Amino acid sequence: MTSTTPAAPAAPSAPAAPEAPQRRGRPAGSPLLRYLLVRFLLIFPTILILVSVVFVMLRLTGDPITAALGGRLTPDQLQERIHEAGYDRPIVVQYLDYLGSIVRGDFGTTISDNRPVTQVLLTYGTATLELVVYGMLVALLIGIPLGRIAASRRDSGGDATLRVASILAYATPVFFLGMLLKLVFSVWLGVLPVSGRASTISTLKMSREGSSTGIYLIDAISTGDGAVISDVLQHAILPAVTLGLITGGIFLRLVRTNVMGTLATGYVEAARSRGVGERRLLRKHAWRPALIPIITVIGLQTALLLSGAVLTETTFEWKGLGFQLVQYLLARDYVAVQGMVALIAVIVALTNFVVDVIAALIDPRIRY
């Protein structure tokens, strides 16, 4: 009875859903498989709920056509377009219709520039992906080593400094940090570009000579032109550092707390009593077990990274999903907003699933 419950609400959103895991056979025997199955089925209600919440919230304000074009068209034209798009049907019908089209992978067509939302997602998704990966790299490079240092010198001056720094990183809004970095490095020192993903010349060159993956670093490398590559990298530094510093502060705290936790365990204590030195204790005994929860929580920061990316992209005019989302929001193009938010919901649900699977594979205590 327990494992059927999560599947029930999922049914309307994804009729195809329950089939996939069944192919894996009946997992009743293995607790791990059972856990994975339940966890997998839980994706669907999560997505369904988020998509529904977004639908209801945006529809509370009226139909998208009036919101986007109201005042610019005559009432008759408006009515006609509303009718064409089917927004005069009962809300329940529209809702089911919407869910159905999402299952088919159709997220609608934007009103303001009349593009399929999926195309918008593909175009700008790569930019966001690139930014998030850079940000994550910076965060890991900062957070993990510094967290280890802080934990190994617990309550020393260095630890206190790092702790305050990490709280400060939390207290600083990501866009404010971005603006400060911009002010110092782009305006006062003049060493880095102010905004954008590449200069106009590089963009032209990439579109003419390079590949068109949308990931600028790959495109730049494919042109084989050193100037283009360095231009693209220079544009990426400030956004990556901005996003990375904020996230890195979280990782720092996380690593510190966890390493301190494992340093206090019985087996580390036992090793210590055998005369193992403090450095070796940290390196050989306490470090790895401490990393397990960190992997999980790093995965759970996706939502946070996405919020951060929206703000960072706006600060640096990095034309990714977040930047575009804000443009659509300001244009009151709610079809586009709905589609993009639905995609974000899917991303969040999927990452959480992947994270849980990894965690369950690493740590047997999680599955039961």
Partner 1 sequence: MATALTPEPTAPAPVAVAVPERAAWWRRLPVVHQLRQSVGVQRTMLVLGLVLMAVFLLSAIFAPLLAPYGFSQLRDASGEAFGAQQPPSAEHLLGTTVGGYDVLSRVIWGSRTALMVVVIGLLLSVFLGIAFGLVSGYFGGWLDRVAVVVADAVYSFPSLLLAILAAIVISGGQASVWGGIMATAVSITVVFIPQYFRVVRAEVIRVKAEAFVESARVIGTPHRRIMTRHVLRNSTRTLPLIVTLNSSEAILTLAGLGFLGFGIEPTKGADWGYDLNKALSDIAAGIWWTSVWPGVAIVLTVLGITLVGESLNDLADPRLRRRRRAARLAGTVGSTTAVPGGVLAAGAQGADGIDGLEASEQDALDPLEDPVAEPRGVAGTGGDEGGSRS
Residues 138-157 that bind partner 1 (CB under 8 A): 154-155
Provide the minimum distance between the beta carbon of 6 and partner 1 in the complex, in angstroms, as a whole number. 6
Give residues 4-43 in contact with partner 1 (rule: CB under 8 A).
5-6, 9, 35, 38-39, 42
Q: How far is CA 351 from CA 106, 260, 299, in A?
A: 21, 28, 7
With CB under 8 A as the contact rule, the residue among 243, 259, 263, 343 that binds partner 1 is 263
User: The dihedral of CA 169, 174, 179, 183: what is its sign?
Assistant: positive
Binding of partner 1 at residue 168 (CB under 8 A)? Answer: yes
Provide the minimum distance between the beta carbon of 175 and partner 1 in the complex, in angstroms, as a whole number. 5
DSSP of 276-334: --HHHIIIIIIHHHHHHHHHHHHHHTHHHHHHHHHHHHHHHT--SHHHHHHHHHHTT-H
With CB under 8 A as the contact rule, the residue among 203, 301, 312, 324 that binds partner 1 is 301
Size of the site for partner 1 (CB under 8 A): 88
Cβ count near 249 (within 10 Å):
25
Cβ closer to partner 1: 134 or 251? Answer: 251
With CB under 8 A as the contact rule, the residue among 28, 53, 122, 227 that binds partner 1 is 53
φ and ψ of 13, to 5 deg: -75, -40
Provide the minimum distance between the beta carbon of 218 and partner 1 in the complex, in angstroms, as a whole number. 27
DSSP secondary structure letter of residue 112: S
With CB under 8 A as the contact rule, the residue among 23, 25, 60, 105 that binds partner 1 is 60
β-pair partners for 73: 70
Binding of partner 1 at residue 182 (CB under 8 A)? Answer: yes
Contact window for partner 1 (CB under 8 A) among 18-26, 203-211, 223-231, 346-354: 346-354
